[in-house]
Chain A
Amino acid sequence: MGGNGMSFAADFYTAPSAPVQWKQRQKRQTRRNLIALPTDQREHEVIDFERRAFLDAVIVVNDAIEHAIRQIDEIERHIDLAGGIRSRMLSALRASLGKTSVFPTLTTDGNDGLIAQWKAGPRYLMLEISSDDGYSMMATGDDGELQLNTADDGNPDFEELKILVREFSTFVEARNPAWREQYV
C-alpha cells in the first residue's frame, strides 16, 4: 500500500479488473489505512481530496462498473490512454452507475480519451472524457430529440450524470427487463 493518498487512488484506478469479492475485502482494510493517515502533512489538502475520492470509489462496485472496467482494460491493450483519463472516467461511472444501471459501452474517443455510450431505441446518452482536460455530455429523450448537449473544462456534474443514467435505466427496464442479454 502506498505511503500517501495519491498512491492509494492511483493504485486503485490503474489496477486491472479484479474479482468483485477481492475488491470488497480490500475496501474495509483500505478505508482503515486511509483514516489512519496523518493529516498534518505538506500535501494535506491533496491527500484529503484523494481520500474522499478513494472512499467514494471503493464503495461502488457493481456489474455495470465491472463491465466498464473490462472494456477499458481491452481498450488499453491496444492504445495508451492519456494520463488521468481512466481514473476520470471511472470516477464518473462509479458516481453514477448503480446495481440496476444499464451497462455503458466504453470506446476510445478516436484519440487518447474515452467515451461511454448508452443506446436504447430513441434514447441515447453519451459521456466523453478527453485529454484536453475537458468533457462533453449528450442525452436524448423518448422522442429521440437532444435534451442535453453540454461540455466544459474538468469533469461533469456527477449528480446530473447519475440522474441521466437512472432515467435511462428506468426507461430500458420498463421495456426490456432482459436487457443484459444485449451485453453478453
Chain B
Amino acid sequence: MNPASWVVDDGSVPDDAHVFRRLPDKPPFIVVPDALGGPKELGIAVYSYDDDDGMSVYSSTAMDRESITHRELIDWTTKNLCVVPMAVVRRSLPRAEARPGTVSPDATHEVPGGVIAAEVMHPTDPRIGRSHALMRIEVVPTAAKKLLKPAWNAFRLKLLDDTCFKIEADGDWIRQPARKTPSGA
C-alpha cells in the first residue's frame, strides 16, 4: 500500500467530540483482575482492530447530525459500549508529559491517531450506519508486524487510560480511578 493513500484523519470529528465503540458482552473479555486487589480494569481487547481498515467506531459528531444518541447505538441485551474523547485519539504527548505506560521504550511520544468517516449499511437503522467511522494510526496496514502491532498496542493503551464503559443504556459510565466521565456523552 502506498503510504500516501492511507488516510488517518479526515478532520470530520473535532477534538471536543467523542468516539464510541461497541463490544459484545460475550464471551466475557472486558475486564482484567488486579492481582494486588485493586479495581478491575478494561482489557486491551476492548480496542481490537482490523489490520486493513482500522478500528470500527461511531462518531458523536455524525450522531448529532443524525439525531441519534449513544443509547440507540447498540442492542443492550447483547452489547456493551465504551467511549473515548477524540482529543485523546489525536493526542501525542512527549514521554515526560504522558502517563506511564503509553509510550513505547523506543519512542519519544504517544502514538497519535485519527478518525475518518466510513458509512456502512445497518440492518435496522440507517442513522447508525451513517454515524460509523474508522479509527486509525499512521502506520500503514502493510507495514511489518514488528512495526504495526507495537504501534497499535501503545495507541490502545493510551486510549484505555481515558476510556469509560457502560453496560446498560441508562446506567452510569463505569470509570476507573483518575478517569473522567466524558462531558456531553
Q: Do A and B actually bind?
A: yes
* A43: min CB distance to chain B, Å: 28
| Size class of the B contact interface (CB-based, 8 Å) | 35 or more
Inter-chain CA distance A146–B157, complex, in Å, is 10
Inter-chain CA distance A130–B153, complex, in Å, is 13
Closest to A74 in B: B27
Instruction: Kindly state whether residue B37 has any CB partner on chain A within 8 Å.
Output: yes
B145 & A108 in contact (Cβ 8 Å cutoff): no
A132 & B153 in contact (Cβ 8 Å cutoff): no
Interface residues of A (CB under 8 A from B): 74-75, 77-79, 102, 105, 107-111, 115, 117-122, 124, 126, 128, 130, 132, 134, 136, 138, 140, 143-153, 172, 175-176, 179, 181-183
B45 & A118 in contact (Cβ 8 Å cutoff): no
Interface residues of B (CB under 8 A from A): 24, 26-30, 32-38, 41, 43-51, 99-106, 145-146, 148-150, 153-154, 157
- Total number of A-B contacts with CB less than 8 angstroms? 123
**Which residues of A sit under 8 angstroms from B28, Cβ to Cβ?**
74, 107
Inter-chain CA distance A36–B37, complex, in Å, is 49
Residues of B contacting A: mostly: loop
| A and B contact pairs by CB, cutoff 8 A, 29 listed | A78-B26, A78-B27, A108-B27, A110-B29, A110-B47, A110-B49, A115-B43, A120-B36, A121-B34, A121-B36, A121-B38, A122-B100, A122-B101, A126-B44, A132-B51, A136-B145, A140-B100, A143-B100, A144-B99, A146-B101, A146-B104, A146-B105, A147-B105, A149-B106, A149-B153, A151-B149, A179-B35, A179-B36, A182-B33
